[in-house]
Structure 1
């Protein structure tokens, strides 16, 4: 689900999951100091996962999506019964905020002054989606950016085979996401999963056999 969350509308930062807890029942003792174990009587605080003593008021676990850059945040949703469903709910709330700032001419001019390349294609598409100004003025700038991106793409494919590099990087990332911590004799080790190789791939090149085996691994829980 992380990959499906749109960037922050305010600052463009990367959203992430926030957790906390909130009171669901008042203390039976009216004189109980609710600030003794943290901000008990106030609003939920990001990262507040501290265990409460038995005499403290009962709390429930809650989850939200927030931007660490500017503090933009969704409402809290209880996640005691189904954590995945709660995260999906706040993810949908986050993605519903589509009031992104309108792109200005200065944003395009700043991008033109850079040596744009293939990696800047998402940034150009983002500016294009947020452009509501006079197209007679903005159109020629977008045309120039598109021409430069096309030229950079042609040069890239002629000089460097980027597809195999990206595919191998994706396979390495999948392996890293499926690793586990293993404690042996008081020392912590990283354990990679055992990868099954298919019998029908034995006569292929070594690199192709490894690539096919890693591709057959199941994806991790995206949360």
Structure 2
């Protein structure tokens, strides 16, 4: 790839957060690979995926960090909030406990991420309507109260998964256009192609550290 132009204009860093078993890894695989992993193992520490999308005629590379939901990995997860332009916060509509823990996840995001980080709330497993334990309107109201974008989705069927990730990118791009995100700053989670191309001998993979409702 050396010497060849990069085929994207921006890089955006996402982090996926939420309790163990809510389907974070499955959402990542559905978005990046268009497939459902029925026996997806629990994430240990973090996993990583990428995909190039288009927003307003701009090609944008998403670098997506899927974090472990277990409490013992929380310290590791917190180190990934810094420099994230987008956070996908996930709960399981069939397990109320995962919804009840959203306040704690949101507190972590508020304390460790940039104030400009776009947070999108996903109620996963919408295909299991007969097992629902969290009413849609209750989740929508939670999102409204905290200024979050929200929709329910299914990592299994793919319903609304694409829309959630793309809508997050659109909101971030809007912040770029408004000038509220400082491009190439360490904590903005947004990098431009020109900045990336100046990083000689570096790979495309990032280094391990050191009422707003979606219509979907």
Quick check: TM above 0.5? no
Higher helix share: 1
- TM-score, with length taken from structure 1: 0.27
- TM-score, with length taken from structure 2: 0.28
Higher strand share: 2
Q: Which has the larger radius of gyration?
A: 1
Structure having greater relative contact order (Cα 8 Å, sep ≥ 6): 2
